[in-house]
A = this chain, B = another copy of it.
């Protein structure tokens, strides 16, 4: 079928081109700001592109295209620099979660074979421990470059004004993100220039982004909950507002500075909503991802802040967008309750993504909003796979479709609702129990702070339902029986935990997800 195109044809693409374009159209417009933490910082798109070019030229002197460079930083304009400069130099950026342990970070640096680690001063100590760990294990340690003191010299070391961005093809790698690893060591998810570009373009289109946007980069930029917005906002010519860390008490100041939209995780919303009551006329959209938001919380969010709410769902492997809970023209003519319920769903596929919910044989489940299947998807934003891990790649991506491992229902408008992770589903006496459903009921109990529901071995039933529970600090104690009865009053009997344990805390990953596998594995060894 390819007789007409020469066999060495590669579609050329580099995500840095979007920044070059922005610097042409919006040259004098402010691209980068940090109003709360660095009020004097105001870089225009022309300046931002120039900085990135200079940094890229400097990187290109030290490294060869395809090399990995890692970073350990809070949100700041240097993150923006590195995302684009790495791309322009043909390098692969490895953004590292700063909440990970030294052991995990060392693993990432070794696995990705990163040549350098950009470290913000806030993590200098952590980086030192990481290097000590690595010293015994590899011959050539990654170079440490301190962001703050050492960073500016790197940028200005290259006097080569004629330097041109490295030519990359659409399928060349732009970034590797390590997934938080609720099971085993983190795996590197490879994202190509095309993945990142296609996701950003679809997001900018669906969210109707224009150069009016002032995007608040509040969620950490090492994670795709927010990092995608770097690329989408630049495409639209909007302004990037940086806050180094999410802090509930800073949110008022950030919103008051004229931020128009944000992407957060639901816990961030919950923790800051009490502190926000101002009038934020510029704010128009808050998006969340990572887990469902209760309709009551969405309602409160929209009423308190006077903005619209959009839920999105995806994963690192999908750059990250798979769905958005946008309303159709028809939804908009419906009742408030229907519309709110639509906005609180996982959502329908984003432009360019083909999505399906399939049974074990790979057949589409009925679109009855009841039958449960696994979410699969294809599109330009789907990762080509895991870094140096073809086995994991072949398990996750088959015939161009990514198998998300998420179980969901789908309605007649193609809108899905996630019910559980596939591997967290419990089969007891032939019945399927979705751990999330039980957890949601448990979290309604006024004394319960956190919980995890999972299956443990049972000779008669195959598995039985167990719950690990953390009580609120000031809560009265609860008995196992009270917990069981609470669930039985609200769900089918077989879904109620048969064993309840009370813990002072639950094991978590660096990005804050509960390590359910660790809890479960105690019983399966």
A interface, CB within 8 angstroms of B: 1-6, 9, 11-13, 17-18, 20-21, 24-29, 65-66, 90, 167-168, 170-173, 190, 192, 194, 197-198, 201-202, 204-205, 208-212, 235-237, 328-330, 348-349, 351-355, 378-380, 384-385, 387-388, 390, 399-400, 412-415
Enumerate 27 A-B pairs (CB-CB under 8 Å) in ascending A order: A1-B66, A2-B172, A4-B173, A5-B190, A5-B385, A6-B390, A11-B171, A11-B380, A12-B400, A13-B379, A17-B354, A17-B378, A21-B349, A24-B348, A24-B414, A25-B414, A27-B412, A27-B414, A29-B330, A167-B399, A170-B380, A201-B352, A205-B205, A205-B236, A208-B210, A211-B328, A235-B352
Contact with A204, one of B29, B205, B235 (Cβ below 8 angstroms): B205
CA distance A201 to B202 in the complex (A): 7
Q: How far is the CA of A399 from the CA of B165 in the complex (A)?
A: 13
- State in angstroms the CA–CA spacing of A168 and B5 once bound together: 14
Cβ B90 vs Cβ A1 within 8 A: yes
Q: Are B413 and A27 interface neighbours, CB within 8 A?
A: yes
Closest to A385 in B: B5
Given the interface pairs A329-B212, A351-B204, the reply to whether A172 lies near B1 with Cβ below 8 Å is: yes
Residue from the list B3, B170, B209, B414 in contact with A66, Cβ < 8 A = B3
- 12 further A-B contacts with Cβ under 8 Å, apart from A26-B328, A204-B205, A237-B329, are A1-B168, A9-B171, A11-B384, A17-B352, A20-B354, A24-B348, A25-B349, A27-B412, A170-B170, A201-B205, A205-B209, A235-B352
Residue of B nearest to A239 (CB): B329
Give chain A's interface secondary structure class. loop
- The answer on a CB contact under 8 Å between A4 and B211 is no
Q: A20-B354, A29-B330 are in contact. Are A1 and B65 (CB under 8 A)?
A: yes
Q: Are B190 and A380 closer than 8 Å at their CB atoms?
A: no
A245 to B515, CA, bound (A): 63
Residues of B within 8 A of A328 (CB): 25-26, 29, 211, 237
Minimum CB distance partner of A5 in chain B: B384
Chain B residues with Cβ below 8 Å from A29 are 328-330
A192 to B330, CA, bound (A): 34
Inter-chain contacts of A173 with B (CB < 8 A):
1, 4-5
Closest to A393 in B: B6
List residues of chain B with CB within 8 A of the CB of A352.
17-18, 197, 201, 235
Contact between B4 and A387, CB atoms less than 8 A apart: yes
Closest to A90 in B: B1
Going nearest first, the 8 A-B pairs with the smallest beta carbon separation are A24-B414, A205-B205, A1-B66, A12-B400, A25-B414, A17-B354, A25-B348, A211-B329
Q: Of all chain B residues, which has the CB nearest A26?
A: B328
Select from chain B the residue with minimum beta-carbon distance to A203.
B205
On chain B, the residues within 8 Å of A18 by CB distance are 351-352
Q: Chain B contacts of A388 at CB under 8 A?
A: 4
Residue of B nearest to A208 (CB): B208
Q: How far is the CB of A14 from chain B (nearest CB, A)?
A: 9
Shortest beta-carbon distance, A411 to chain B, in Å? 10
Q: How far is the CA of A186 from the CA of B451 in the complex (A)?
A: 69
* A480–B380 CA distance with the chains assembled, in angstroms: 60
Q: How far, in angstroms, from A399 to B168 measured CA to CA in the complex?
A: 11
Contacts of A2 in B (CB 8 A): 171-172
A6, A24, A212 interface centre (most CB from chain B within 10 Å): A24
> What is the distance, in angstroms, from A233's C-beta to the closest C-beta of chain B?
12
| Distance in Å: Cβ of A382 to nearest Cβ of chain B | 8
How near does chain B come to A321, taking the closest CB pair, in angstroms? 13
Contact residues in B for A167 (Cβ distance below 8 Å): 399-400
Establish whether residues A12 and B378, one from each chain, have CB atoms under 8 Å apart when the complex forms: yes
Q: How far is the CA of A9 from the CA of B208 in the complex (A)?
A: 32
CA distance A355 to B210 in the complex (A): 20
Check if A25 sits within 8 Å of B413, measured CB to CB.
yes
